[in-house]
Amino acid sequence: MTRTQPPRTSAAPPSAVGNGLSRAPVLPPPRRRRRPALLALALTMVVLGALGATYLATSLGQTSSVIALAREVPWGQAITAADLVEARISADPALRPIPYGDRDQVIGMVAATTLTPGSLLTIDALTDQRLPAPGQQLVGVGVSTVQLPATALRPGDDVLLVPVAAGSAPVATEVGAPGVVDATVVQAGPPGPDGLRVVDVLVDVADGPDVAARAAAGMVAIVVVADE
């Protein structure tokens, strides 16, 4: 006689069997601790940055009206209204140009150095001492093309006035030689119809009469002295 056995059922996995163990609970993420001091510091830095940017933009936008040079003014020349022009610049403590409101006080003053066009005018570039200064005399020396260098003379150049015999070369060119006079160029004029160019020079008051007499006779040559 054959026994019929009941069908086997597969055992449930241990995880599905109630064995007294349960799933681990899901924990919420940890809360971040707020630090009021750091928040206050960050807020302060943002505010300071905004204030700094505002100040910088305001400073760059503020300009002042100052005096600039419209054209070159040679050393020793008086300032005229046509020499000056208004310029607007941002405030900068490193720059000390003369305010444009003082323009009338500048006109008539003398350039203490050669002033270049486009530069800002400062008080150090001006003097109220007109030429010739005390102890000096201003003499016009007429010279031909062979009695001065081909290079253009500039205001402020130091030169030697060397005596020459009529129609001859200079007799001496050394500093301190008899008849040689130290001078400073004030202005060199254009050639005249006779081919002579008049050069205004400053000389010592003791040399003025002799230089003027030699210059009138065409017996002066001009030698440029090297800058020291």
Domain count for the chain, please give it.
2
- Give yes or no for residue 9 having a pLDDT over 60: no
Q: Are 216 and 154 in contact (CB under 8 A)?
A: no
Whether residues 123 and 141 share a domain: the answer is no
Sign for the pseudo-dihedral over CA of 100, 101, 102, 105: positive
pLDDT digits (tens, 9 = 90+) for 64-104: 899 999 999 998 899 999 999 999 988 777 778 999 999 99
* The model scores a pTM over 0.85: no
Residue 181 to residue 32: CA distance in whole angstroms: 92
pLDDT at 79: 95
Does residue 179 fall inside a structural domain? Answer: yes
pLDDT at 13: 52
Q: Are 204 and 136 in contact (CB under 8 A)?
A: yes
What residue numbers bound the domain in which 183 lies? 136-224
pLDDT, mean over the chain: 80
Residue 129 to residue 210: CA distance in whole angstroms: 25
Whether residues 179 and 202 share a domain: the answer is yes
pLDDT at 148: 87
pLDDT at 166: 61
pLDDT at 228: 60
Does residue 144 fall inside a structural domain? Answer: yes
pLDDT at 222: 93
- Give yes or no for residue 7 having a pLDDT over 80: no
Strand boundaries in the chain, DSSP class E: 63-69, 84-90, 110-111, 126-127, 136-143, 158-163, 181-191, 197-204, 220-224
Confidence of residue 110 (pLDDT cuts 50, 70, 90): very high
Coil vs helix vs strand at 189: strand
Does residue 86 fall inside a structural domain? Answer: yes
pLDDT digits (tens, 9 = 90+) for 173-199: 454 455 899 999 998 988 888 888 999
Does residue 172 fall inside a structural domain? Answer: yes
Does residue 198 fall inside a structural domain? Answer: yes
